[in-house]
Structure 1
Amino acid sequence: MATVGFIYPDHAAEDDYPFAERLLGYRISLPVEHIYGTDLHAVPELLDLGSEKRLAEGAALLARHEPDAVVWACTSGSFVYRWQGAHEQVEKLSAAAGKPASSTSFAFVRAAQALGLKRVSVAASYPDDVAKLFVDFLGAGGIEVVAMSSEDIDTAAEVGRLSPEAVVELAVAHDHPAADAVLVPDTAMRTLGVLGAIEDRLGKPVLTANQVTIWEGLRLTGQVPRCDQLGRLFAEGR
């Protein structure tokens, strides 16, 4: 059984990970360990949160689970380093863990590529300046953003308190006719339980942070189980 370890910042929507284990029939293990800092969606704080020292602490906590791969489960704490810096962040995490590593930001790019998506809409919970950095990151990965919205929510804790109905409406409200998919980029947002509802409303794929993070970790192990309950990515993306 593959084991993917996740470094998760503070507490918000980490229960998406055991929920995914259940949906995947307990065929994989998805242990989560936490690192702590401010949960403010602001560039200086995010740079600190994703620092080499903090991620090394997370890797050390995950070691007891003997993971086959590790993922930094934080979108803003990875794309804030921009394309090259995020690569260096992942390389240092891999060295600290002694395992293949990735981050949620790269997970979005690779998931979009797996589904053949070229143009997307971004439904972001972040303040506008932070959301624009995600748009830049996607562009560096060859993905065109045709529309971007920012809900201007300052902290991850606030995002974690959004109701399932609010999450669905956030994603659906920020679709765009020219978009191949809608991306919802915050691991603090519980989305796995509403993926089907969003895709049914949109009639197109939706990629959410915890969804792509789990998929990316499994991709690193070479074992991505098919699952119709985790969106088109797990049903179709290979």
Structure 2
Amino acid sequence: MTALGFLYPGHSAEDDYPRIEQLLGSDIRLPLVHTDIGEDAHREDALLEMGSTQRLAAGVEELRLSGAEAVVWACTSGSFVYGWEGAHEQVRNLARAAGMPASSTSFAFAHAVPELDAHRVAIAATYPEDVAELFAAFLKDAGVEVVSTRASGIITAAEVGTWGEEEVLALARAGDHPEAEVVLLPDTALHTASHIPALESALSKPVLTANQVTVWEALRLADRRVNAPQLGTLFTKEPIVQA
């Protein structure tokens, strides 16, 4: 049995995690601890506070007790808002506090794109434009080419959490670009675990969503691979062997 821990901000789409656990169909548990988000706002100052060392450290003891072998900060905006170097410092601090390997959803995207042997991506974001551009800048620092960025202007995670399949598909279609090899939906407040096959079918290309890549990143930290077609191309791709 492998337990993979997640620190999830507030309450919006956390039910994606038991759904993903079910779809993995393996000896893997996904214990999740909610963090205090402070103000629910996709605004730079609020996001910096949401991802602060103190707020993240408050949840690690519960994850340790769950037997987690790795922890991922399940928040994209609350990690990339710190920039490339700051996001590295954030996960280093989390690893020290938790006493286990750590990462964040932003790094999950940065690692998942090359896993698909892809280079050019389109971002379909729920965020306001300035926040979406911060994610694009983070990916560029990771060596990913961002060919387009679409922002939806949604301020709160609570609103994003109310979106269903129709809204998620509309977001992905609107954010797609002919030159993009992969489309990214970066908000962990967005319910996507049940919609990935429909998304990839509609766009005829791989789609990476925040909660999907967050779980994949935790598996990567634990050196586990699971074939789960219902979780999209990322979960069926054979590992790239470096020459």
Do both share a fold (TM > 0.5)? yes
Say whether the 8 Å CA contact 1:21–1:27 is kept in structure 2: no
Alpha-carbon displacement from aligned partner over 1:162-200 (angstroms, at most 9, x marks no partner): 111110111122110000010000000000100000100
State the alpha-carbon separation in 2 of the partners of residues 31 and 168 from structure 1: 28
Structure 1 stretches of at least 4 aligned residues deviating more than 6 Å after TM superposition: none
Query: More deviation in 53-62 or 12-21?
Result: 53-62
CA distance in structure 1 between the aligned counterparts of 2:55 and 2:26, rounded to whole angstroms: 29
Structure 2: distance between partners of 1:237 and 1:183? 20
2:97 matched residue in structure 1: 96
Cα distance in structure 1, aligned partners of 2:181 and 2:238: 14
Tell whether the 8 Å contact from 2:150 to 2:174 is kept in structure 1 after alignment: no
Measured in 2, the distance between the counterparts of 1:136 and 1:233 equals 23
C-alpha distance in 1, partners of 2:99/2:16? Answer: 26
CA drift of 1:27 comes to 2.1
1:114 aligns with 2:115: yes
Q: Is the 8 A contact 2:53 2:90 kept in 1?
A: yes
- Report 1:62-211 matches (<5 A): 62-211=63-212
Unaligned runs of 5+ in 2: none
Residue in structure 2 matched with residue 7 of structure 1 by the alignment: 7
In structure 2, give the amino acid aligned to 1:33.
V
Aligned to 2:19: 19
Contact 1:124 1:184 in 2 (8 A): yes
Secondary structure of 2:158's aligned partner: helix
Q: Look up the equivalent residue of 1:168 and give its one-letter code.
A: L
Aligned amino acid, residue 43 of structure 2: A
CA deviation profile, 1:21-66 (whole Å, cap 9, x unmatched): 1111142000110011222100001000100101101212212101
Which residue number in structure 2 is paired with residue 34 of structure 1?
34
Task: Write the deviation string for residues 98-133 of structure 1: whole angstroms up to 9, x where unpaired.
Answer: 000000000001000111110000000000111100
Question: TM-score when scaled to structure 1?
Answer: 0.98
Would you say the 8 A contact 2:200–2:232 is kept in 1?
Answer: yes
Q: What SS class does the counterpart of residue 193 from structure 1 fall into?
A: coil
Does the 8 Å CA contact 2:128/2:154 hold for their aligned counterparts? yes
Q: Matched residues in 1 for 2:217 and 2:10: separation?
A: 21
Seen in structure 2, the aligned counterparts of structure 1 residues 101 and 213 have a Cα distance that, compared at 3 Å, is: same
Please report the RMSD computed on the Cα atoms of aligned residues, expressed in angstroms.
0.8
* CA distance in structure 2 between the aligned counterparts of 1:237 and 1:101, rounded to whole angstroms: 23
Q: Aligned ranges for residues 214-229 of structure 1 at < 5 Å?
A: 214-229=215-230
Structure 2: how far apart are the matches of 1:13 and 1:203?
25
d(CA) in 1 for partners of 2:137, 2:101: 25
- How many residues matched? 238
In structure 1, how many angstroms separate the alpha carbons of the residues matched to 2:161 and 2:210?
13
| 2: CA distance, partners of 1:59 / 1:76 | 20
Q: Secondary structure at the match of 1:6?
A: strand
Q: CA deviation at 1:237?
A: 5.2
Change beyond 3 A, Cα 1:8–1:237? farther
Kept in 2, the 8 Å contact 1:50–1:77? The answer is yes
